Amino acid sequence: MKSHLPGHPMQIYLIRHGQVEEGYHKVFGGSRINMGLSPRGVKQGEAVAEWLKDTPLDVMYASPMLRVQQTLAPMAAQRGMQPQILPGLREMDFGDWTGNTWDEIQSKFGMSAFDWLEIIESNRIPNGEDVANLKSRVQECMLQIIHAHPNGKVAVYCHGGIIRVILALLLEVPLAHLAHFNIEYGSISLVELLPERKHAVEIELLNFQPPIK
């Protein structure tokens, strides 16, 4: 991934969608369930827009899924800026895990949902998305964004799983290593790309949840 970075600094704000509808809490929804936001999730989207209101942004990119579109709506209205939708930023496909709670994963499949990133990376979710395809589609999106906006400030609204894939690709670490980091609902993470430095990718902010008013 680093070999494809342009020779200019860039800031990427990675924003996870807000809290989802109550019926889908601690449920693997992935790309197969297009749920909306809870009332708290709507407020989280508003809080993100408020916290970033004085931050210049050149463009917004987003997953096409409803929960993401509802989260970015306050930012789009505030700035009069419509996002560019990239289907490759949709959440990963959890296959047969879809619709099951974390506890049900253990009882039905004999796996610990807490190991979900490791399980995904080893392609052990029945009928789940192939990890090579997952990484490929996310990398394609990120390279498109990076090369379109050298020296730019970009917001990317997407999903917790996809943010972890993005960070794994940029940092060139196994996806399972991202289990060490929480990516909460309505959180902002900021990555700077500085290709002239030895450490071309620097995380300036991770999993920050702007306060809800």
Number of domains in the chain: 1
> Alpha carbon 173 to chain centroid distance?
17
Cβ 187 vs Cβ 212: under 8 Å: no
pLDDT of res. 200: 85
Range of 16's domain?
Answer: 2-208
Catalytic residue among 21, 22, 46, 91: 91
Domain presence at residue 25: yes
188-198: average pLDDT: 84
In the numeric block, which tokens belong to residue 120? 């995904």
pLDDT of res. 98: 98
The angle formed by the CA atoms of residues 105, 187 and 51, to the nearest 5 degrees, is 160
Model confidence pLDDT, tens digit, residues 123-174 = 999 999 999 999 999 999 999 999 999 889 999 999 999 999 999 999 999 9
Model confidence pLDDT, tens digit, residues 50-106 = 999 999 999 999 999 999 999 999 999 999 999 999 999 999 999 999 999 999 999
Q: Which residue has the higher pLDDT, 6 or 96?
A: 96
> At 146, which CATH number?
3.40.50.1240
Domain presence at residue 18: yes
Catalytic residue among 17, 46, 121, 129: 17
Q: Is the dihedral of CA 119, 137, 20, 45 positive or negative?
A: positive
Domain presence at residue 21: yes
Domain presence at residue 162: yes
pLDDT of res. 5: 64
**17 among known catalytic residues:** yes
Binding positions: 67
Domain presence at residue 184: yes
- 45: pLDDT confidence band, cut at 50, 70 and 90? very high
Binding positions for substrate: 67
pLDDT of res. 12: 97
177-186: average pLDDT: 95
Identify the residue whose tokens are 């902002």: 188
Is residue 7 predicted with pLDDT exceeding 90? Answer: no
**91 among known catalytic residues:** yes
Domain presence at residue 213: no
Domain presence at residue 173: yes
